[in-house]
């Protein structure tokens, strides 16, 4: 039976690979114009239904097609970057797991008045987990029953101009976010959302190692497609100073007013005092930077820190921050990517406590990347759901074995917990060996393993062969 399943999957691979040669795709290298890559693969998964220990497992074969296409153009007056990806999975005999996912990222920047004003527009379609404790998708292999499409479009001006030794900069962005079918209530928590995000600052350059000052203001508002969920509004104004102490150290301080989200998350205003003090340090040749500050905000004591190090072979960065926000606002300000993570959407403001660490070690033929993260969403008095925590560790090692062959290993561990509901721990690891078989064409052999603990434990192993064609 298994031999028959594998035979069907391999046949599908050959058909998909042949069809894929004529398809464009999103690639890594092209600087201008169209670029892309297409992957077609045959998989065997030993436990696609993710049954737990002690239950009978039934393996199955699957064919997978993953084209990605993109277009990029940069001129003195305009920047355009658009990309599209599809992930189609078809199983040989397992019902309910076939899926097709479409992902789109688009950004356009018009430099309307050079050195003064630009206008930016962005649009995207990505997928998020509807319920972080629900069925696992496992890199898109196991259907889309717990996934929801997130469509987003934003538009707004960007202001930047230098007045002698001072800099004026600001932004204002309007964003519309739609979850699934318009008007759909996802997981009992989410409706469509509209976001306003504004920021304005004026002052000296705070990184020049001399006395600096700047004033800033922030406005954030989120409304939802139903009166069942209260809108969110947060405002803040502040005055900041930086006083050099020696050639590398500076003392930083700030004070101002902000909204007391703990008392009311919907009215905004400036009814709470905020202040902080800290230090900043810059290393030789500005290759190393460190900044830390402690203060008081509407929620009590606050702390933030950031560290960055750029060396010849090693790049390090670490940060910790505490900010009130909403999930749609977080996605709006995030760096555009097809992978938005698995934090579930929810119509409630929260205090985001986020810590991250990344390291990249580059050798003549090898690259090692490591990331650790800790994200806690504190919903305060909201009765929609308990606070949640997501923390984990990821790593990837790649080795250039020869002019035509590469090897890679990646692994991750993650813990998810929601107060009042429980949680799980999940580990994942995989090996890949790729070999060039033609111009811009590779064949890839890989194996992956997932293991999940908690209330619904499972173990899954998948082996696959892919053909990748770059354009």
Per-residue tokens: 118: 């630009």
* Residues 60 and 119: beta-carbon distance below 8 Å: no
* Residues 425 and 390: beta-carbon distance below 8 Å: no
Q: Which positions ≥6 away from 22 have C-beta within 8 Å? A: none
Total-model pTM = 0.80
Indicate whether 4 pLDDT > 50: no
Q: Which helix (H) or strand (E) holds 19?
A: helix 2-20
**What does the pLDDT read at residue 17?**
36
- Structural domains of the chain in order of their starting residue, each with its CATH number: 113-130+146-470 (2.40.160)
* Residues 148 and 179: beta-carbon distance below 8 Å: yes
d(CA 142, CA 47): 10
Q: Which of 159, 84, 88 is nearest to 123 (CA)?
A: 84
**Paired strand residues for 436:** 442
In this structure, what DSSP letter does residue 329 have?
A: H
Per-residue tokens: 245: 């102490």
**What does the pLDDT read at residue 137?**
63
Per-residue tokens: 289: 């930077």
d(CA 408, CA 391): 24
Q: What is the DSSP string of 67-78?
A: EEEEEEEE-SSE
Task: Output b/e per residue, 109-130; b: 16+ Cβ within 10 A.
Answer: bebeeeeeebebebbbbbbbbb
CA 153-156-162 angle, to 5 degrees, is 145
Phi and psi torsions of 185, nearest 5°: -95, 105
Phi and psi torsions of 6, nearest 5°: -65, -40
Alpha helices in 313-471 (DSSP H): 327-333
Assign residue 227 a region: left if phi > 0, alpha if psi is -120 to 50, beta otherwise? alpha
Per-residue tokens: 244: 């050099």
Indicate whether 343 pLDDT > 70: no
Indicate whether 43 pLDDT > 80: yes
Q: Which positions ≥6 away from 102 have C-beta within 8 Å? A: 84, 85, 86, 125, 149
d(CA 256, CA 465): 58
Q: Which of 174, 165, 171, 170 is nearest to 196 (CA)?
A: 174
Please give the residue that has the higher pLDDT: either 196 or 179.
196
**What does the pLDDT read at residue 380?**
76
* Residues 333 and 372: beta-carbon distance below 8 Å: no
Per-residue tokens: 4: 């028959």
* Residues 261 and 324: beta-carbon distance below 8 Å: yes
**What does the pLDDT read at residue 18?**
36
Q: Which of 158, 126, 129 is nearest to 331 (CA)?
A: 126
pLDDT tens for 208-247 read 567 889 999 999 998 887 666 778 899 999 999 999 998 8
**What does the pLDDT read at residue 94?**
83
Mean pLDDT of 26-43: 76
In three-state secondary structure terms, 131 is coil
The residue written with tokens 């990331």 in the block is 371
Percent of the chain with pLDDT over 70: 82
- Mean pLDDT, rounded, of the chain: 83
d(CA 315, CA 312): 8
pLDDT tens for 267-319 read 888 999 999 999 999 888 888 999 999 999 998 899 999 999 998 899 999 99
Indicate whether 30 pLDDT > 60: no
Per-residue tokens: 393: 């560790």
Q: Which helix (H) or strand (E) holds 400?
A: strand 388-402
d(CA 129, CA 187): 10
Q: What is the CB neighbour count within 10 angstroms for residue 231? A: 18
d(CA 460, CA 27): 30
| Distances from the Cα of 98 to the Cα of 135, 278, 400, angstroms | 15, 54, 35
Q: Which pLDDT band holds residue 354 (cuts at 50, 70, 90)?
A: very high
**What does the pLDDT read at residue 136?**
62
Mean pLDDT of 146-164: 88
Q: What is the CB neighbour count within 10 angstroms for residue 98? A: 13
Alpha helices in 42-171 (DSSP H): none
Indicate whether 445 pLDDT > 90: yes
**What does the pLDDT read at residue 28?**
41
**What does the pLDDT read at residue 247?**
83
Lowest-pLDDT choice from 215-219, 367-371, 393-397, 448-452: 448-452
Q: Which helix (H) or strand (E) holds 347?
A: none
């Amino acid at each position: 039976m298994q031999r028959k399943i594998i035979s069907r999957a391999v046949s599908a691979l050959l058909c998909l690979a042949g069809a894929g040669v004529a398809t464009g795709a999103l690639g890594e290298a092209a600087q201008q114009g169209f670029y892309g890559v297409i992957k077609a693969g045959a998989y065997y998964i030993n436990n696609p239904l993710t049954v737990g220990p002690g239950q009978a497992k039934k393996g199955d074969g699957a064919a997978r097609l993953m084209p990605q296409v993109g277009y990029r153009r940069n001129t003195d007056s305009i920047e355009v970057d658009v990309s599209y990806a599809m992930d189609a999975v078809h199983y040989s005999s397992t019902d309910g797991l076939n899926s097709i996912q479409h992902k789109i990222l688009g950004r356009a920047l018009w430099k309307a008045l050079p050195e003064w004003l630009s206008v930016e527009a962005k649009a995207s379609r990505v997928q998020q987990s509807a319920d972080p404790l629900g069925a696992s998708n496992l890199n898109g292999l196991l259907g889309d029953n717990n996934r929801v499409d997130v469509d987003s479009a934003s538009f707004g001006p960007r202001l930047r101009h230098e007045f002698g030794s001072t800099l004026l900069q600001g932004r204002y962005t309007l964003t519309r976010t739609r979850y699934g079918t318009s008007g759909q209530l996802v997981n009992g928590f989410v409706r469509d959302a509209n976001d306003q995000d504004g920021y304005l600052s004026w002052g000296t350059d705070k990184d020049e190692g001399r006395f600096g000052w700047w004033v800033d203001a922030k406005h954030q508002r989120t409304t939802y497609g139903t009166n069942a969920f209260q809108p969110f509004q947060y405002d803040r104004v502040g005055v900041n100073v930086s006083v050099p102490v020696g050639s590398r150290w500076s003392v930083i301080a700030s004070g101002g007013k902000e909204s007391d989200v703990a008392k009311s998350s919907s009215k905004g205003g400036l009814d709470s005092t905020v202040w902080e003090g800290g230090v900043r340090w810059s290393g030789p040749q500005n290759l190393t930077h460190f900044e830390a500050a402690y203060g008081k905000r509407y929620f009590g004591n606050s702390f933030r820190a950031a560290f960055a190090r750029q060396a010849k072979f090693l790049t390090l960065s670490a940060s910790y921050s505490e900010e009130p926000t909403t999930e749609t606002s977080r996605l709006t300000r995030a760096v555009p990517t097809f992978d938005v993570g698995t934090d579930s959407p929810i119509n409630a403001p929260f205090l985001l406590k986020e810590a991250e660490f990344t390291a990249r070690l580059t050798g003549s033929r090898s690259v090692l990347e490591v990331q650790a993260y800790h994200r806690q969403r504190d919903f305060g008095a909201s009765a929609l759901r308990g606070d949640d925590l997501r923390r984990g560790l990821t790593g990837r090692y790649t080795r250039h074995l020869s002019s035509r062959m590469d090897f890679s290993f990646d692994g991750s561990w993650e813990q998810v917990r929601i107060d009042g509901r429980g949680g799980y721990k999940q580990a994942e690891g995989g090996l890949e060996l790729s070999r060039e078989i033609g111009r811009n064409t590779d064949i890839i052999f890989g194996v992956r393993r997932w293991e999940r603990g908690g209330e619904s434990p499972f173990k899954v192993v998948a082996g696959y062969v892919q053909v990748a064609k770059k354009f």
